[in-house]
Chains A and B, each alone.
Chain A
Amino acid sequence: MYRSRSVVVVAVTFAALAGVAHADPTLRYGFGKPATAAEIAGWDIDVRPDGAGLPEGRGSVADGQAIFDAKCASCHGTFGESTDYMAIAGGVGTLQSDQPMRTTGSKLNYATTLFDYIRRAMPFNAPKSLTSDEVYALTAYVLNLNDILPADAVLDRRSIVAVQMPNRDGFTTRHGFMRADGKPDTHAKACMTNCAAEVRLSSEIPDYARDSHGDVAQQTGRATGDGGASAGLSGTLPPAELAARAGCLACHGVTNGVIGPAFADVAQRYRNDPTAADRLLRKVQAGGAGSFGTVVMPAQRLPERDLRTLIDWILDRLQ
């Protein structure tokens, strides 16, 4: 009886441990927990060009304009021409020119990417706050601003995949940057001597940019001068921290005497003395004994500014 009960306990304990560690016996480690369908649905917001991931819902250009004017135009401009932020309209056909105008309309290849990005990251100050209908509507309006969709267009998960962006075929993966062993597009040679007949300066920093990054001398050098070593720490630290840094607290407490008197006792002693600060300064600089006992306080060689800061603080420790 006794024995069989302990066996049951052991078996139950083992089952519980196994349950925690290996709910799924196919897992090698079993850490974490299964991600449920509801959890995945909440976070799995990505949309691919083939339409995978698009939610139900629909939105019109007209609906999109109302939302855009309220939530987007302050950065992107009423017509998507941009204020300071990236222009989302215009520039179609300029990518081949010397002055490419890179906008959402001129550069993007798939409307689904526009939907995905608005859904996850816009408005800039309130990402993930829009409904699916609102995201469809905004996507429709941005495409309308670019003359890609007519003013009466409505987008949903089927129609958005059919949108033909002007730069649909403007991308290539025929290059060597997709794999570590991909083929480079330059083939420089490591010549060692007499490699160039003539070396000519082709560009120097423009005048307008010379001072645009501040005092580069201060940015590129090591520490110079005495680094303010003699200026002390006053102004860079609160007095209590200065007292700790300066080693005062090795011998003094604020409210309790340690080796020397408590600062509160010092404040009490000098509370009605208008010359207290100057007298204390001389005492601290000279060191000595007798005021509070026979233990000698060594002379302190802190910068005077630091000492005065500390003394003012000490005299303010009255309880």
Chain B
Amino acid sequence: MSRAPRVPGRIRPAPESSSRRRFIGSGAVVAATLAARTTGAAETATDFLPPADPPWSRTLGAPILASPYGAPARHEAGVVRRQSPGLTRTALSSVSFTPLQNLFGIITPSGLHYERHHAGVPDVVPDRHRLMVHGLVRAPRLYTLDDIVRFPSVSRIHFIECGANTGMEWANVAVPTVQYTHGMLGCSEWTGVPLALLLDEAGFDRKRARYVLAEGADGASLTRTIPLDMARDDVLVVYGQNGEMLRPEQGYPLRLLVPGVQGVSSVKWLRRLEVGDAPWNTREESLHYVDLMPGGIHRQYTWIQEAKSVITSPSGGQLLLDRGYHEITGLAWSGRGKVARVDVSTDGGRNWRTAKLQAPVLSKALTRFRIDWTWSGGVALLQSRVIDETGYVQPSIRELRDVRGTRSIYHNNAIQTWRVDPAGDVSNVQVS
């Protein structure tokens, strides 16, 4: 049993403007002014606190169905996906990032799961959507959504990470918060039909079949090659996400889910699966999603997302208000299986302690880790390092650059460093 923390630690957003500092310094005054202006009554901020009853204890609340679907509390309006300014040229072929710094546990709320699309989000009419299975099969099939839902289904929790996640940081620090460094990442409970079942149903050619092409129904009709072994292992044709139908930006009404593989392979708005005997070398497998190595050669078909971890709190842009106890927490994952261990360093990698893993620890899913930490008020360099069940150890950025240089864009799974300065400001840095 760990010792009870003696000094409470608080964490707040870093107030960058002087007005915000004043607000925090004299919150009661500001709140009282606000209350007086809006209610006309002589309410002060202390009226919200014991021994007084706050307004919501003295009035009726909202009736049922005030919001038939439901939405986050209005005070959480800052917890949203964001784009990284300048990263792309048009919002129609772009990416939005998951606010990892605000999330708990391992499930990404569907409305916060990062977006990546190449020709906008199509408004697919489910009754008119079809999934075609053809190519090297005995019985080419055309399915409605209802047909797909009739098949025996499975639900599994898996992460999806864009191959370009952390791609902006290959050469140097470029972005301020974990939302932008690691936010092309989400983890959901997915429900659908095993692709193996659809391939068996169509009677794929067991002698010649080697690959499956997946194609989307959006304007880009994005295509990716999936090796048959992988397709028959754990790939799903998905319609459910976190208990409901997929969101439009996640591929409504059908998407592929290729666990452990870079997100682009989990083709959204899935309309066609073609069985073939050679890879397709599609645009998204030749002009993009290939890894440029020193010497000018590109690695092609770099499917697997290797083990990676990041501390989400404290993380860039936050502020430690007090010395004393802080929980360090974050996420770890591996495209090769389960997370076996996560170590945390607070001195830039000189010394490490092993963190606690929060159950469940699932294959190719996010795993939450936590460790106690007492901040003494000095400079700290916070790092996490995952080891997956294959024994693979997450590399440092230097170890990665030694092999791959700084131009490969994709598959940067380096150890992340957050610097805590003596004032408590947390910022993104790299160490060597």
A61-69, A210-218, A257-265 - the one binding chain B: A210-218
Q: Is there a chain A Cβ closer than 8 Å to B411's Cβ? A: yes
Q: Which residues, 210 to 240 on A, are CB-close (under 8 Å) to B?
A: 210, 212-232, 236
Contact partner of A182 among B296, B304, B347, B430, CB < 8 A? B304
In the complex, which residues of chain B have a beta carbon less than 8 angstroms from the beta carbon of A241?
A: 66
**How far is the CB of B60 from the nearest CB of chain A, in Å?**
4
Residue of A nearest to B143 (CB): A32
**How far is the CB of B272 from the nearest CB of chain A, in Å?**
6
Per-residue CB contact flags for chain A residues 20-49 toward chain B (1 = under 8 Å, else 0) read 000010111101111110011001111011
Is B348 within 8 A of A196, CB to CB? yes
Residue of B nearest to A33 (CB): B142
Given A177-B304, A217-B16: A236 and B74 interface contact (C-beta under 8 Å) = yes
Q: Which residues, 225 to 280 on A, are CB-close (under 8 Å) to B?
A: 225-232, 236, 241, 244-247, 249-250
Q: Which residues, 44 to 74 on B, are CB-close (under 8 Å) to A?
A: 45, 48, 54-56, 58-63, 66, 73-74
Q: Which residues, 189 to 240 on B, are CB-close (under 8 Å) to A?
A: 200-201, 203, 213, 215, 219-223, 227, 229-230
Contact partner of B287 among A35, A104, A176, CB < 8 A? A104
Docked CA distance A246–B63 (Å): 8
Number of A-B contacts defined by CB within 8 Å: 364
Docked CA distance A181–B230 (Å): 11
Residue of A nearest to B56 (CB): A229
In the complex, which residues of chain B have a beta carbon less than 8 angstroms from the beta carbon of A302?
A: 59
Given A24-B139, A40-B132, A177-B304: A29 and B283 interface contact (C-beta under 8 Å) = no
**How far is the CB of B146 from the nearest CB of chain A, in Å?**
9
Q: Which residues, 194 to 221 on A, are CB-close (under 8 Å) to B?
A: 194-196, 199-206, 209-210, 212-221
In the complex, which residues of chain B have a beta carbon less than 8 angstroms from the beta carbon of A223?
A: 73, 75-76, 78
Docked CA distance A224–B336 (Å): 40
Q: Is there a chain A Cβ closer than 8 Å to B325's Cβ? A: no
**How far is the CB of B137 from the nearest CB of chain A, in Å?**
9
Q: Is there a chain A Cβ closer than 8 Å to B315's Cβ? A: yes
Is B201 within 8 A of A191, CB to CB? no
**How far is the CB of A202 from the nearest CB of chain B, in Å?**
4
Interface size on B, residues (CB 8 A): 148
In the complex, which residues of chain B have a beta carbon less than 8 angstroms from the beta carbon of A19?
A: none
Q: Is there a chain B Cβ closer than 8 Å to A180's Cβ? A: yes
Docked CA distance A203–B419 (Å): 11
Is B140 within 8 A of A35, CB to CB? yes
B108-116, B170-178, B248-256, B366-374 - the one binding chain A: B170-178
In the complex, which residues of chain B have a beta carbon less than 8 angstroms from the beta carbon of A300?
A: 59
Is A213 within 8 A of B74, CB to CB? no
Is B84 within 8 A of A113, CB to CB? no
In the complex, which residues of chain B have a beta carbon less than 8 angstroms from the beta carbon of A85?
A: 89-90
Is B427 within 8 A of A204, CB to CB? yes
Docked CA distance A202–B406 (Å): 14
Is B66 within 8 A of A245, CB to CB? yes
Residue of A nearest to B135 (CB): A44
Q: Is there a chain A Cβ closer than 8 Å to B186's Cβ? A: no
Docked CA distance A107–B409 (Å): 14
Q: Which residues, 60 to 94 on A, are CB-close (under 8 Å) to B?
A: 84-86
In the complex, which residues of chain A have a beta carbon less than 8 angstroms from the beta carbon of B428?
A: 204-205
**How far is the CB of A117 from the nearest CB of chain B, in Å?**
4
Is A202 within 8 A of B283, CB to CB? no
Is A35 within 8 A of B132, CB to CB? yes
Given A34-B141, A40-B134, A301-B58: A188 and B282 interface contact (C-beta under 8 Å) = no
Given A189-B393, A195-B352, A212-B85: A120 and B223 interface contact (C-beta under 8 Å) = yes
Per-residue CB contact flags for chain B residues 367-394 toward chain A (1 = under 8 Å, else 0) read 0000000000000010001010010111
Q: Is there a chain A Cβ closer than 8 Å to B270's Cβ? A: no
Docked CA distance A161–B172 (Å): 41
Residue of A nearest to B140 (CB): A35
Interface size class on chain A is 35 or more
In the complex, which residues of chain A have a beta carbon less than 8 angstroms from the beta carbon of B411?
A: 177
Is A113 within 8 A of B283, CB to CB? yes
Docked CA distance A178–B139 (Å): 29
Is A110 within 8 A of B101, CB to CB? no
Given A84-B89, A178-B303, A304-B40: A210 and B176 interface contact (C-beta under 8 Å) = yes
Given A33-B142, A171-B298, A229-B54: A121 and B134 interface contact (C-beta under 8 Å) = no
Docked CA distance A185–B55 (Å): 60
Is B295 within 8 A of A96, CB to CB? yes
Is B272 within 8 A of A43, CB to CB? yes
Is A215 within 8 A of B16, CB to CB? yes
Docked CA distance A282–B223 (Å): 66
In the complex, which residues of chain B have a beta carbon less than 8 angstroms from the beta carbon of A231?
A: 34, 38
In the complex, which residues of chain A have a beta carbon less than 8 angstroms from the beta carbon of B290?
A: 171
Q: Is there a chain A Cβ closer than 8 Å to B429's Cβ? A: yes
Per-residue CB contact flags for chain B residues 138-166 toward chain A (1 = under 8 Å, else 0) read 11111110011011000000000000000
Contact partner of B296 among A39, A46, A96, A202, CB < 8 A? A96
Is A178 within 8 A of B387, CB to CB? no
Residue of A nearest to B48 (CB): A226
Docked CA distance A205–B174 (Å): 6
Docked CA distance A123–B272 (Å): 21
In the complex, which residues of chain B have a beta carbon less than 8 angstroms from the beta carbon of A210?
A: 176
Q: Is there a chain A Cβ closer than 8 Å to B356's Cβ? A: no
With A35-B140, A301-B55 given, name 16 new contacts (CB 8 A). Answer: A26-B139, A35-B133, A35-B141, A43-B132, A48-B276, A108-B286, A121-B119, A170-B297, A173-B300, A177-B302, A177-B304, A190-B352, A193-B350, A206-B174, A217-B20, A304-B39
- 22 CB contacts below 8 A, A to B, read A26-B138, A34-B141, A39-B142, A43-B271, A46-B282, A107-B286, A171-B300, A177-B301, A178-B301, A186-B403, A188-B396, A190-B343, A205-B427, A213-B82, A216-B13, A222-B13, A224-B12, A224-B24, A225-B23, A229-B54, A231-B38, A304-B41
Chain A residues proximal to chain B, CB less than 8 Å:
24, 26-29, 31-36, 39-40, 43-46, 48-50, 52, 84-86, 95-97, 100, 102, 104, 107-110, 112-114, 116-117, 120-121, 124, 127-128, 170-173, 175-182, 184-196, 199-206, 209-210, 212-232, 236, 241, 244-247, 249-250, 300-305
Leading 9 A-B pairs by shortest Cβ distance: A221-B13, A96-B296, A247-B60, A199-B348, A216-B317, A217-B13, A177-B302, A227-B75, A32-B143
